[in-house]
């Protein structure tokens, strides 16, 4: 498979260069948070997922044809349908969880700024950017509290909402100020660096949901 054939296959699947970047491509806009990137290292090829300026390895192959197959296989896995939730359902979950967030912040501070925790089933989360990534935030956290760059809301970036349906091990931290934004929201990084959000959706640990959006 050539670069051109892989780009055509990605375009047919709805993945623009801002979402999946191939070597030597020049996207119209900046890559979205959580974008996938094919990089060549010597004769070897890798797929990286870059979220908030940090990259994680998704796949590797000794040749381009192999990495192209790995990338398309990664993206072509079927995802469960989106679950629609009502405002009342969301409010009930948020009321139940509200007492725990101050305790979590205290725990993060006491442990030097990061704490390894298990998110139980029933936690509402979201992210701004691509579906692919490995960083999550408490549902409906304000844009300013996420400290994302101003370009983060440009298309094809989107808001992706989730609920945990199994226990998910994450590294919890407080978002620092950055890009002129104050930060302050709780951010969850998937602890296993070989796992992405898409992987958790495929295995049923995360479920995509559609809920009313309202920043706190």
pLDDT tens digits for range 4-29: 999 999 999 999 999 999 999 988 88
- Strands (DSSP E) contained in the chain are 20-21, 35-41, 44-51, 54-61, 83-84, 114-119, 124-129, 135-138, 158-164, 168-174, 186-190, 206-210
| pLDDT (mean) for 180-209 | 94
Confidence grade of residue 213 (pLDDT, cut at 50, 70, 90):
low
**Nearest alpha-carbon partner for 188 in 112, 134, 143:** 134
Q: What is the pTM of this model?
A: 0.92
| pLDDT (mean) for 120-134 | 95
**Nearest alpha-carbon partner for 2 in 87, 67, 94, 82:** 67
pLDDT tens digits for range 37-50: 999 999 999 999 99
| pLDDT (mean) for 192-205 | 97
């Amino acid at each position: 498979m050539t670069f051109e054939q892989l780009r055509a296959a990605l375009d047919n699947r709805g993945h623009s260069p801002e979402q999946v970047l191939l070597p030597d491509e020049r996207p119209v806009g900046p890559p979205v948070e959580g974008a996938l990137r094919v990089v060549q290292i010597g004769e070897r090829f890798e797929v990286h997922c870059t979220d908030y300026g940090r990259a994680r390895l998704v796949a590797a192959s000794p040749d381009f044809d192999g990495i192209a197959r790995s990338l398309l296989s990664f993206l072509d896995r079927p995802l469960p349908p989106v679950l629609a939730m009502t405002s009342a359902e969301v409010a009930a979950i948020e009321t139940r969880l509200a007492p725990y967030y101050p305790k979590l912040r205290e725990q993060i501070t006491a442990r030097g700024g990061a704490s390894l925790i298990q998110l139980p089933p029933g936690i509402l989360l979201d992210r701004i950017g691509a579906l692919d990534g490995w960083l999550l935030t408490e549902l409906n956290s304000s844009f300013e509290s996420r400290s994302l760059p101003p370009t983060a809301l440009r298309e094809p970036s989107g808001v992706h909402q989730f609920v945990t349906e199994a226990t998910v091990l994450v590294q919890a931290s407080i978002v620092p100020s950055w890009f002129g934004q104050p930060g302050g929201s709780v951010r969850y990084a998937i602890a296993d660096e070989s796992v992405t959000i898409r992987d958790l959706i495929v295995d049923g640990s995360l479920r995509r949901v559609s809920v009313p959006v309202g920043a706190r």
